[in-house]
Structure 1
Amino acid sequence: MRITDVIRRKGAEVVTVRPDHTVSELLTLLAEHRIGALVVSRDGASVDGIVSERDVVRTLHTHGAAVLDMPVSDLMTAEVTTCGPDDDVEHLMRLMTDQRVRHIPVVVDGSLHGIVSIGDVVKHRIDELQVERDQLVGYINQ
């Protein structure tokens, strides 16, 4: 299966945050959309970075409450691992495991096309296994 199949099921909407927004604004977006990471983008199409709840917690540990007024650019990961819609889901699972990341933006011709989380991948895999199970049960019951 391809990343495009995952995106088709979950939708291509991506919530982004500008690098100059504060961490407080970031936290509002994370809570509002009930998500764990945001793509950092100046224009909503480029991928300038990615920032997650983990980034906030780690910075909170070292800077305390002052983190809330810091710009997102101070916390974000600037070197972002991305994938394309034609990439294989198994490859993406391995990439997420090897790099210990839970969110990977999907990029097409340099533009943000979607984002895939580990939860999306797990759900997709469970759905695949259910279809295989149903086919096997149907075959056995023939």
Structure 2
Amino acid sequence: MSLTAILHARPARVVTVPMTHSLQAAMALMRKERVDAVLVNDRCATEGEVVLGLLTRRAVFDAITDHGPAALSMKVADLMDGGLVFCDIDEGLPALIARMRERAAHHVVVMDREQAIGVIDVSDILFFSPADAASPVQRAG
């Protein structure tokens, strides 16, 4: 199965939140949109909208655990994961899975040219493509 097929099997939207929004606002957006991750972006006069990072449910949990209720007023720019894994829409799953394993990434931003067109996670790959994903994910042993 291809990344295109995986993206077509999911709701077709990329949910973004500005880097200046609070964690509480981002959490409300994640709940409303029923997503586990949102892209954190900024608008630049010379480059337009730029993806800076990813805010995941895990990052939300970690922020609240580390900072308590004060985390809710913190800016998402201070809590996001900036170590994104990007892939091209035409990239093969075995190469993508290998890179995700190498970087211990659970989420990948799928790009078409210079535009983010989706965010997929490990469960998407396993759910929508178990035969393609099985052998590269198996542990050596």
TM-score where L is the length of structure 1: 0.79
Paired residue secondary structure (1:47): strand
> Which 5+ residue runs of structure 1 have no aligned equivalent?
130-142
Cα distance in 1, alignment partners of residues 83 and 93 from structure 2: 21
Cα distance in 2, alignment partners of residues 81 and 10 from structure 1: 19
Following superposition, the deviation at residue 94 of structure 1 comes to 2.5
Cα distance in 1, alignment partners of residues 99 and 12 from structure 2: 20
Q: Would you identify which runs of 4 or more consecutive aligned residues in structure 1 move more than 4 Å? A: none
Alignment-mate amino acid for residue 73 of structure 1: A
- Name the structure 2 match of 1:136: none
More helix by share: 1
Alpha-carbon displacement from aligned partner over 1:5-33 (angstroms, at most 9, x marks no partner): 21222243111111000000111112122
Does the Cα contact within 8 Å between 2:93 and 2:132 map onto a contact in 1? no
Alpha-carbon displacement from aligned partner over 1:70-97 (angstroms, at most 9, x marks no partner): 0000001223110110111222223223
Q: Give the counterpart of 1:81 among 81, 85, 95.
A: 85
More strand by share: 2
Q: 1:128 to 1:62 in 2, by over 3 A?
A: closer
Following superposition, the deviation at residue 55 of structure 1 comes to 1.2
Alignment-mate amino acid for residue 96 of structure 1: M
The 5 Å alignment of 1:19-98 reads 19-43=19-43, 45-98=49-102
Aligned residues: 129
TM-score where L is the length of structure 2: 0.79
- Name the structure 2 match of 1:12: 12
Which stretch of the first structure deviates more once superposed, 74-83 or 87-96? 87-96
> Which 5+ residue runs of structure 2 have no aligned equivalent?
134-141
> What is the RMSD computed on CA atoms of the aligned residues?
2.2
Cα distance in 1, alignment partners of residues 12 and 97 from structure 2: 19
Cα distance in 2, alignment partners of residues 71 and 91 from structure 1: 34
- Name the structure 1 match of 2:137: none
Residues 1:110 and 2:114 aligned together: yes
Alpha-carbon displacement from aligned partner over 1:97-121 (angstroms, at most 9, x marks no partner): 3322221111223221211122211
Paired residue secondary structure (2:87): coil
**Overall identity of the aligned pairs, in %:** 26
Alignment-mate amino acid for residue 5 of structure 2: D
Does the Cα contact within 8 Å between 1:47 and 1:111 map onto a contact in 2? no
